[in-house]
Amino acid sequence: MMASDSGSTVMIEKEFPKSEKRKTNFDVIIIGGGPAGYTSGIYCSRARHETLILTGVLPGGQLVNTTEVENYPGFEHGVMGPDLMITMRKQTERMGAKIIDDEVIDVDFRHKPFKILTASEEYECKAVIIATGASPRKLGIAGEQTYGGKGVSYCATCDGPFFRNQEIVVVGGGDSAIEEATFLTKFGKKVHVIHRKDQLRASKVMQERAFSNPKIEMHWNTVVSDISGDGKVQSVILSDVKSNVKTSLSVGAVFVAIGHEPNTKVFKDRVELDEQGYIKLKDHTKTSIQGVFAAGDVHDHRYRQAITAAGFGCMAAIDVDRYLTESK
């Protein structure tokens, strides 16, 4: 810095504080920052294990994209999804876990300590919990992102009760779509199933349930090409895939049920995955690699609920504690 004193100019050197070396070695590293990851962090930290959570680029998982959550215990009047995840994060930090919002780009489970590489650092640990979750497949159409959480949903169990006595669209033709459509008839006055083909992929039992339900109407050879509204979903444009004829349908909600993609790309050829890409568990929460565990939607393609993910996070942390204790 330049300073003037009695007409003369002198140089004053500014001393910068030495940067503190970041800790890179932990007992447990949890990959993922949703309900499973944060719950794992709470339990691991309470068990006095040095714990690091690498949340990725979207801390909070799928819940940060939801609005009101009515079915998570402990909130009498419901809670906003992002608020729930902020509360979980604060509780996890209070227990002593270190949380870094960085994305894991590679892992090495061949030798111990395990190595976890992010975009900015390499970490080592004795045990790993994978809690990266799964992402719903999107339609990729106009209005889908705009009305996410405002009528566009990917979970009937989560959001169905918000649309009582309204007409509802379900997109898809597999078991999940038909199961969601059947469930939604408990709330909606009519459920429109939109399928791009002329027959369902769902099992015969599921088809029979749908065809016999007077509240369900099938739209064959049809896709949703646009979602519109005013602050919330009010209508969709349906396009016939053969004639390209477009029609408008007034609805209050669009449930997309065309499958999920587990967030396991970085773990391919690192741990055993099933044919859909979900992590295969051997014994409770153990993966094919000793010392590596999994929790939540990254292995669970049946329930896909925040509360079950949190439960799996608890289970994985307890299994990690036993593993580390027995390894001493």
CA-based nearest residue to 153, from 128, 111, 181: 181
- CA dist 162 and 270 (Å) reads 41
- CA dist 200 and 179 (Å) reads 12
Torsion of CA 56, 58, 61, 66, to 10 degrees: 180
- CA dist 186 and 156 (Å) reads 11
Catalytic residue status for 44: no
Catalytic residue status for 314: no
Torsion of CA 304, 307, 311, 314, to 10 degrees: 120
Half-sphere exposure of 101 (CA within 13 A, CB side): 6
Catalytic residue status for 155: yes
- From the candidates 27, 159, 297, 319, give the one annotated as an active-site residue: 159
What are the tokens at 255?
A: 């449930």
- CA dist 193 and 218 (Å) reads 5
Three-class DSSP labels, 256-286: ECCCEEECCHHHCCCCCECCCCCECCCCCCE
- CA dist 72 and 80 (Å) reads 10
- From the candidates 158, 297, 300, 319, give the one annotated as an active-site residue: 158
- From the candidates 83, 102, 155, 175, give the one annotated as an active-site residue: 155
Q: Which residues are marked as active site?
A: 155, 158-159
